[in-house]
Amino acid sequence: MKFFVDTADLDEIKELQQTGLIDGVTTNPSLVAQSGRNFIELIGEICEIIDGPVSAEVAATDYETMLKEGRKLAAIAKNIAVKVPLTPDGLRVCKALSDDGIMVNVTLCFSAAQALLAAKAGATFISPFVGRLDDLSQDGLALIEDIVEIYENYPNITTEVLVASIRSPNHIIESAKMGAHVATIPPKVIRQLYRHPLTDKGLADFVADWQKTGQSILDAA
């Protein structure tokens, strides 16, 4: 499973990129607004840090303007994935851009039927929102399972399932078990993946036992 970090915070992106565990970045208008930065400049800087796909979302909702915005965003860098909403006009834009070899991330997916349409439109990524479905007492992970199963039935579908609106490590683990291709994860949840109380306890025990030896690996002959 590929890990994308879901943020527009440059400091967070730089820090996580240094781990070697991040494969891409997703942004959205809300995250960009939180940054307070110029949108085009910010996306360009992110693309300089990250080699993998960087999702940048259009702001318009009509076909003509979305298409123009999508082409402008795609011109920022080769690793831009233009993010469009799962609407009739959004899917038209997806088809037009994907036909030109531009990566497209179709976002705000809440049903398997929508995911099938996005695949037919040539989407590079489909972004089902598991957390937002869970908020409505619906099973977000069941949607991931349905989409993966449908896509696997058709070898000609190359669209990758990008699990979005992740709220906990469990969303990631369960999605990975189902075969989802990508998880886009808030920085705080990425850091939660490291943690386990037995890891902390075991390390503390090892450090204490090593200190008792009075040795130093670096000073050893």
Mark whether 68 is an active-site residue: no
For 160, phi and psi rounded to 5 degrees?
-95, 140
The beta-strand segments (E) located in the chain are: 2-6, 24-26, 54-57, 80-85, 103-109, 125-128, 160-163, 182-185
Look up residue 146 and give its amino acid: D
β-partners of residue 183 are 3, 163
Burial class (CB in 10 A: 0-12, 13-18, 19+), 204: exposed
Q: Which residue type occupies 186?
A: P
The catalytic residue among 2, 68, 72, 83 is 83
CB 46 within 8 A of CB 27: yes
Q: Please state, in angstroms and rounded to a whole number, the distance separating the CA atoms of residues 41 and 36.
A: 11
Structure tokens that stand for 119 in this block: 């695949």
Task: Enumerate the active-site residues.
Answer: 83
